[in-house]
Amino acid sequence: MNSINADLHCHSVVSDGTLTPEDLAMRAHQNGVQLWSLTDHDVIGGQHRARAAAERLGMKYISGVEISVSWAGQTIHIVGIGFNPDHPTLIEGLRKTRDGRTARGKEIARQLAAVGIAGAYEGALSYAGNPELLSRTHFARFLVEKKVCRSTDEVFKHYLVEGKPGFTPHVWASLQESVDWIVGSGGVAIIAHPGRYRLSELQKHELYIAFKEAGGLGIEVITGSHTPRQYDEYAKIALQYGFYASRGADFHDPQESYIDLGKLPHLPSSLQPVWSLL
Ligand code: AMP
Ligand code: MN
Ligand code: MN
Ligand code: MN
Domain ranges of the chain: 6-97+171-277, 101-158
CATH class held by domain 101-158: mainly alpha
Q: Say if 6-97+171-277 and 101-158 have the same CATH topology.
A: no
Separation CA 226–CA 234 (nearest Å): 9
The best mutation among 41, 69, 79, 137 to test binding of ligand 1, ranked by most ligand atoms within 8 Å of the C-beta, falls on 137
- Residues flanking ligand 1, CB < 6 Å: 16, 41, 68, 135-137, 152-153, 156, 252
Nearest residue to 83 via CA among 52, 114, 38: 38
CATH class held by domain 6-97+171-277: alpha beta
Q: Please name the residue ranges forming H helices in 5-132.
A: 21-30, 47-56, 88-98, 101-114, 120-125
Nearest residue to 8 via CA among 223, 208, 271, 257: 223
Q: Please name the residue ranges forming H helices in the chain.
A: 21-30, 47-56, 88-98, 101-114, 120-125, 136-145, 152-158, 175-184, 201-214, 228-241
pTM assigned to the model: 0.98
Indicate if the alpha-carbon torsion angle 197, 112, 96, 126 is positive or negative: negative
What count of residues does the chain have?
Answer: 278
Give me the tens of pLDDT residue by residue for the chain, a chain 278 residues long. 999 999 999 999 999 999 999 999 999 999 999 999 999 999 999 999 999 999 999 999 999 999 999 999 999 999 999 999 999 999 999 999 999 999 999 999 999 999 999 999 999 999 999 999 999 999 999 999 999 999 999 999 999 999 999 999 999 999 999 999 999 999 999 999 999 999 999 999 999 999 999 999 999 999 999 999 999 999 999 999 999 999 999 999 999 988 999 999 999 999 999 999 99
